[in-house]
Structure 1
Amino acid sequence: MHRLPIPEDVTGAEIDADVRQELMSLPKTLADDVARNLVMVARLLDTEPEEAYKFSRVALRLASRVPSVREAAGFASYMTQRYSEALTEFRAARRMTGRADLWPVMADCERGLGRPEKALAMAGEPEVKQLDKAGQVEMRLVAAGARGDMGQFDAAVVTLQSPELASNAVHPWTARLRYAYAEALIAAGRADESRDWFAKAAEADPEGSTNADERLAEIDGLEFVDALDPEAEELAEETAEEPVRRPAHDPRDEGTDKVIFEEDEDVEEFYDEDDLEIEEASAQEVDQIDRDREARRSERD
């Protein structure tokens, strides 16, 4: 069996106690090996899901009868959009444990497979009543997403309306719920109501797990500049240093005293001291001024 390199600092002792308990059914050496692979799955799942998936397959080949291994393999498949594989693993884990906590993500896999009707049907099954508050909110998010997939945008808005949405209390799922509601409002043609909910999502999301801040800035007409992006910083500096140019005739200037700023070379090329005289000169004087100007230019040439 092909094994993947694992950093020496990963011992396997990092796993949760309940997972360790499940692995006690295995020989110690094998249990430690599986545990180290599960730690790598957890480490890489959010940042490098494809790598996490590879480690999950190793753990699965080593211990396919352990519920936590099937669950980890399911989440790795889910994060890499292998929804059919994910659904298979989640179903296996649920059969082994009898728990309902995977029900929302199983329904979301149905959405990923292009079956929003199935996901919506799962939202009405008895398993939902077995979920804790976080699980029920997750199920509501999946159901609203399924409504959106089916083009039922107004129904998606109604699906998200709940005591959890109206509450001012902040929980781990609060930012995602408010953000989803703002997006649902936009999809339903109620964009004017979405700003407040993006703002509420941003308030509940200090770590930036959603992009509520950016969506709020888009609505307000602001632009984010990544402070860690040298090119963006250089562009911002150039923009700040560039003089503001306005057209020669600007309606905003009418009725006001104009001050025209020009580059030095523009002044040398287009400005002549006789220009001041022309404003007050008669037609004959204008001809004389033009002749004098031509004479001076000939002498300079």
Structure 2
Amino acid sequence: MSRERYGASDLAVRPRHDDPELPERIQPRDLDKGARAELKTLSKENADSVARHLVAASEYLDEDPELAHQHAVSAARRAGRVGVVRETLAITAYATGDFALALRELRTYRRISGSNDQLPLMVDSERGVGRPDRALEVGRAVDRAELPAAVQVSLAIAMSGARLDLGQPELALAELEIPQLDPDRAFSYSPALFSAYAEVLDELGRTAEAAEWRARTARAEAALGGPAEAEIVEIFEIEEEGEPEALPEAEVEEAEIEVEQDHDPGAVLEEDVAAVIAEGDSLEAEPNETESDEDGRDGLLPNTH
């Protein structure tokens, strides 16, 4: 499809034979309100189509990542300059194991939105393309104190994984010793953090301690309603308190890494997607920036002392 043949409005709404089918039950109103606001620069018909593809991508992500990615690609064809669209494309690419494409799209998303909330996914994608040194460099480039608590936790887990990739289990453990590693309180991010900590302890041969942290993981999941609900449970505070007090921060040895220029990895978008997104870039206006919500405390763990 070329702009010489079709006008801008035709490009936005013209159906494509290779778009995945959208179930009738999926409606534009099903999209998160914040994400929907980012589509206001589009025509109503185009915005509705993009919204439905984004909802489908989210819905199919766990059960059928390839199908989810097809829906994200369809959304990107129509709204290539909208932050949430490029973010969704990155997430689905990561889910299918295309880490090079995920990195490309995450960089684009960050340029459009100015947000670092997907920094952990960037770090993990660098690991995915076999660059753990670069992953550590990317993770250290941002002041972690400015990130939401849940993002800090995800980043610590990704950085710890990069340390393990490099055969540095002691430093991997130190990456996880952050203020959020509180054994007595359960947050939405606690089970993942506790579990990662237990795995590294196992790697170090500290099996008794690892067992204790696995038990804490189970108690955290129970306090949050179980592992399946922990990621989607509405945050509710048991008492009026802020974040848990910081633990003494462990010193993490800074590896001497040659700084490489920030560049896109060799793999690029498939020709069809790249061409249409490029056309979309020249047609759509810049989206408005949106704010991301910060996770708070979900509950308290049973007192085991």
- Band the TM-score falls in, shorter-chain normalisation: 0.5 to 0.7
Corresponding letter in the other structure for 1:141: I
Corresponding letter in the other structure for 1:208: P
1:41 partnered with 2:57: yes
Corresponding letter in the other structure for 1:3: D
Deviation at 1:200, TM superposition (A): 0.6
Determine the structure 2 residue equivalent to 1:232.
none
> What is the distance in 2 between the residues matched to 1:114 and 1:185?
24
Q: Which has the higher helix share?
A: 1
Determine the structure 1 residue equivalent to 2:23.
7
Q: Secondary structure at the match of 2:187?
A: coil
1:110 partnered with 2:126: yes
Q: Which one of the candidate residues 133, 144, 149 is aligned to 2:165?
A: 149
Does structure 1 retain, via aligned residues, the 8 Å contact 2:183–2:216? Answer: no
Deviation at 1:162, TM superposition (A): 2.5
Structure-2 change in CA distance of 1:72 and 1:127 (3 Å): farther
> What is the distance in 1 between the residues matched to 2:143 and 2:179?
20
Cα-Cα RMSD = 1.5
1:208 partnered with 2:208: no
State which drifts further: 121-130 or 56-65: 121-130
Q: Which one of the candidate residues 80, 92, 96 is aligned to 1:76?
A: 92
1:66 partnered with 2:85: no
> What is the distance in 2 between the residues matched to 1:133 and 1:208?
19
Q: Secondary structure at the match of 1:170?
A: strand
Does structure 2 retain, via aligned residues, the 8 Å contact 1:100–1:128? Answer: no
1:190 partnered with 2:206: yes
> What is the distance in 2 between the residues matched to 1:104 and 1:120?
10
Deviation at 1:50, TM superposition (A): 1.4
Q: Which one of the candidate residues 45, 66, 89 is aligned to 1:29?
A: 45
> What is the distance in 1 between the residues matched to 2:91 and 2:143?
20
* Structure 1 unaligned residues grouped into runs of 5+: 211-301
Corresponding letter in the other structure for 1:152: Q
Deviation at 1:130, TM superposition (A): 2.5
Does structure 2 retain, via aligned residues, the 8 Å contact 1:103–1:128? Answer: no
> What is the distance in 2 between the residues matched to 1:126 and 1:44?
32
* Structure 2 unaligned residues grouped into runs of 5+: 1-15, 230-305
**Residue correspondence of structure 1 range 138-287 to structure 2 within 5 A:** 138-206=154-222, 207-209=226-228
Corresponding letter in the other structure for 2:192: R
**TM-score where L is the length of structure 2:** 0.66
**Residue correspondence of structure 1 range 123-142 to structure 2 within 5 A:** 123-142=139-158
Structure 1 runs of 4+ off > 3 angstroms? none
Higher relative contact order (CA 8 A, sep 6+): 2
Larger Rg: 1
**TM-score where L is the length of structure 1:** 0.67
Q: Which one of the candidate residues 105, 119, 122 is aligned to 2:135?
A: 119
Identity %: 36
1:16 partnered with 2:35: no
Deviation at 1:209, TM superposition (A): 4.8
Does structure 1 retain, via aligned residues, the 8 Å contact 2:19–2:70? Answer: no
Determine the structure 1 residue equivalent to 2:294.
none
Corresponding letter in the other structure for 2:163: R
Deviation at 1:172, TM superposition (A): 0.9
Does structure 2 retain, via aligned residues, the 8 Å contact 1:100–1:130? Answer: no
Does structure 2 retain, via aligned residues, the 8 Å contact 1:41–1:72? Answer: yes
Determine the structure 2 residue equivalent to 1:91.
107
Deviation at 1:166, TM superposition (A): 2.9
Query: Deviations for 1:182-239, whole angstroms, at most 9, x for unmatched residues?
Result: 10011112123211111111111232359xxxxxxxxxxxxxxxxxxxxxxxxxxxxx
Deviation at 1:12, TM superposition (A): 1.2
Q: Secondary structure at the match of 1:205?
A: helix
State which drifts further: 185-194 or 139-148: 185-194
